[in-house]
Amino acid sequence: MKKGFLKYIRDTRKWLYIIVLIIVVIGISGFVYFYFRIYPPNFSDGRFNFISSDSNEYSKPGGRITYTINYGNSGWKAVEDFEIVLKVPDNTLFISSTHDDFINNKDGTLTFEVGSIAGNEKGAIDFTIEIKKPLDNGTLIKLDETRFNYTNGGENFNNNISVNLVTTVESSPDLSDFKLEAIDENGGDLRMGDVIQYKLTANNSGGMNAANVEINSNFSEFTDIIEDSITNSGEYKENSISWQISNLEVDKPEILSFKVRVEDNLTDDVIISNSSTLKYGSDVIEKSVEEEIKRFSDLTTSEAFLYDENGGYLWATEIVSVRIIIRNTGDKSEESYKLICPTPAGATYISQSGTPEGIGWSDDIRGLIWDLSELGAGEEKEITFRIKVNEDLVNSGGVITTAFKIESSSGEVTLPSKSITVKGHVNMNIVAMGDSLIEMSNWVQMFDDLLEVNYPYADYNTIASGKGGEMASGGNARFDSTVAIYNPQIVIIAYGTNDVGPRYSGFSTNLESIVAKAKNLDARVFINLIGPINRPDKENYPSYNNAIMQIAAKYGAVVIDVLTPLSQNPGEYLTDGMHYSQAGAVVVAHTVFSYVSQYLGDIGQRL
């Protein structure tokens, strides 16, 4: 009985296991059927899968539209490789997207790669396009059908999303920025004979090109066209130029221009004008410019001149002629004007020397003022007067400079200043130092006379500093007290006659010292050669001359060769075989002058 019961229990469990297994299999099969067949992925629900935009019914070229792609899987099943494919509307350009993973294909399509989308997952992608410019009015901007592609269970699926998003382009040319400019190529005020360039700019800032634009420019009767200046095939006819523009593209301005010349025979002030129009269909845009031509006098080319009446250098007390040419290069007569001429510093007006017409003296300017009238266009007037260089410039010299001006209805004109240099007299100290050949002879005075005669505008103070029997050592000893005190510009040294002999005198050392001292005074140094000497104890004087030449070469001094001319006739030129006769003094004076003058300028100044 017990065994039968246990067997019954075992059999019952077996059937229970079988029943549970059957139930599990049926449940799993039902779940799989339910998951894959009854609730698959779903992108057809229009509540979640649609495209919207921020555009209105009408848009402008250059405007932007943002589309929003909404997608949602209303099924329970996830999908893989989800992507959205659409074509960018015609006449637009893709600008940007909120989704980074996309492909902008060459055929104008966009592919947004999203990836896995879970069941009941939703999302949105924005992308922006720009309407091309230019674009004709009425053009439709339409987003076509959009396709969702994905895979499910290894199979490829797609859903087409119907789109009905259309905006109409409102477009027209905008030519309101039409410009007209007048440019005076001569600058300044507009005058007769000036050239004016008229510049017309036609600019289309609208959204579509403008076909068959006509531009006309009418210019003043007081101007003449310069025909070869007309640009862009403009046609000229009776003070008017016209252009035909077949297609004025957006943001591509057409610049047209031509030139006219103002007539140069106008007798009155006139208005020079230009009136230009741009026509497009029934639209007309007008622009005009005008400028008044004012005729006026022009005295700006007037000028002054200074002349030294004696020619050559100008010296104190000499006369200067002043000449002023007043020119009217304008196109109108100057009815009343003043010439104002202060007397230049360093000079004095010579009474009654000025042009009498309208002349007057002014203490305020220490000079002359002419009140003048009627200077016609193209005419000129000459005004003259004379001045004398003041005597106080004798030594210093100076510069005479004008400061003249003209006052007229056109304003004040300052004449370019003119200058003339006054030479100052040369003042120079010259010292000739030596022994009895200077003390007992007048050749130094004759030398000074030659300087004064040949250089009349130079004043020379030539000092004969000679001491009988003196050697070079004596001259060296007294140089500071008897020579340097004059601060000479030229020093002439004539030693050696007493040094020559059988005893040593220290000639070279002392002569070199004298030369050095003179050079330290910034003086030009000259040294006379010794001789000729016809004395039995002085035959060796040539060796002393050699010393002179060596010292001169060392210090840049000039050697004066008095030996050669005196040797031509020593019997006549020497009194005792050593000292100069009067004829000899003349020879020495001229010889020294011939050397020294080589180092003087044209008016006797030291070079």
Strands (E), 490-556: 490-494, 524-528
**pLDDT per residue over 175-198, tens digit each?**
999 999 999 998 878 888 889 999
**pLDDT per residue over 270-304, tens digit each?**
899 999 999 998 999 999 999 888 788 899 999 99
The 3-state DSSP class for residue 320 equals strand
Alpha helices in 105-160 (DSSP H): none
The 3-state DSSP class for residue 313 equals coil
**DSSP type of residue 127:** E
Per-residue model confidence (pLDDT) at position 20: 66
What CATH number was assigned to the domain covering residues 426-599?
3.40.50.1110
Is the predicted pLDDT of residue 38 greater than 90, yes or no?
Answer: no
Per-residue model confidence (pLDDT) at position 505: 73
32 pLDDT band, cuts 50/70/90, is: very low
- The amino acid sitting at 96 is S
Per-residue model confidence (pLDDT) at position 145: 83
Cα(371)–Cα(373) distance, rounded to whole angstroms?
A: 7
The architecture (CATH level 2) of 50-169 comes to Sandwich (2.60)
Is the predicted pLDDT of residue 385 greater than 50, yes or no?
Answer: yes
Rg (CA), the chain: 58
Instruction: Give the pLDDT mean for 481-497.
Output: 97
The whole-chain average pLDDT of the chain stands at 91
Could you tell me what percent of the chain has a pLDDT over 90? Answer: 78
Measured CA to CA in angstroms, residue 133 lies from 59, 106, 168, 434, 593 at distances of: 12, 21, 14, 108, 99
Whether 303-423 and 179-293 are alike in CATH topology: the answer is: yes
**Which residues make Cβ contacts (< 8 Å) with residue 453, sequence separation at least 6?**
none
Which secondary structure element, helix H or strand E, spans residue 143, and what is its range? strand 140-143
Residue located via tokens 């969702």: 148
Per-residue model confidence (pLDDT) at position 35: 47
Residue located via tokens 């008229």: 198
Closest CA to 494 of 554, 443, 449: 443
Range with the poorest average pLDDT among 34-38, 154-158, 166-170, 353-357: 34-38
Cβ 358 vs Cβ 371: under 8 Å: yes
Report residue 398 as tokens.
């100076």
- The residues with which 185 forms a beta bridge, in sequence order, are none
**pLDDT per residue over 206-243, tens digit each?**
989 999 999 999 998 889 999 999 999 899 998 899 99
Per-residue model confidence (pLDDT) at position 5: 54
The architecture (CATH level 2) of 179-293 comes to Sandwich (2.60)
- The residues with which 236 forms a beta bridge, in sequence order, are 241
Per-residue model confidence (pLDDT) at position 24: 58
Kindly report the number of other CB atoms within 10 A of residue 259's CB atom: 21
**Which residues make Cβ contacts (< 8 Å) with residue 137, sequence separation at least 6?**
169, 170, 171, 172, 208
**Cis status, amide bond into 456, omega within 30 of 0:** no
23 pLDDT band, cuts 50/70/90, is: low
- The residues with which 561 forms a beta bridge, in sequence order, are none
36 pLDDT band, cuts 50/70/90, is: very low
**pLDDT per residue over 319-331, tens digit each?**
999 999 999 998 8
Of 1.20.1510.10, 2.60.120.620, 3.50.50.60, 2.60.40.740, the CATH number of 303-423 is: 2.60.40.740
Instruction: Give the pLDDT mean for 78-89.
Output: 94
548 pLDDT band, cuts 50/70/90, is: very high
Is the predicted pLDDT of residue 361 greater than 70, yes or no?
Answer: yes
Per-residue model confidence (pLDDT) at position 266: 80
Kindly report the number of other CB atoms within 10 A of residue 214's CB atom: 13
Per-residue model confidence (pLDDT) at position 8: 59
Per-residue model confidence (pLDDT) at position 192: 83
Cβ 119 vs Cβ 176: under 8 Å: no
Which secondary structure element, helix H or strand E, spans residue 29, and what is its range? helix 2-33
Question: Could you give the angle at which helices 507-520 and 472-482 cross, rounded to 10 degrees?
Answer: 20
Instruction: Give the pLDDT mean for 1-23.
Output: 63
Could you tell me what percent of the chain has a pLDDT over 70? Answer: 94
Report residue 151 as tokens.
């895979």
Domain ranges, ordered by start, for the chain: 50-169, 179-293, 303-423, 426-599
Cα(205)–Cα(260) distance, rounded to whole angstroms?
A: 30
**pLDDT per residue over 414-467, tens digit each?**
999 999 999 989 999 999 999 999 999 999 999 999 999 999 999 999 999 999
> Is pTM, for the whole model, over 0.95?
no
118 pLDDT band, cuts 50/70/90, is: very high
- The amino acid sitting at 159 is N
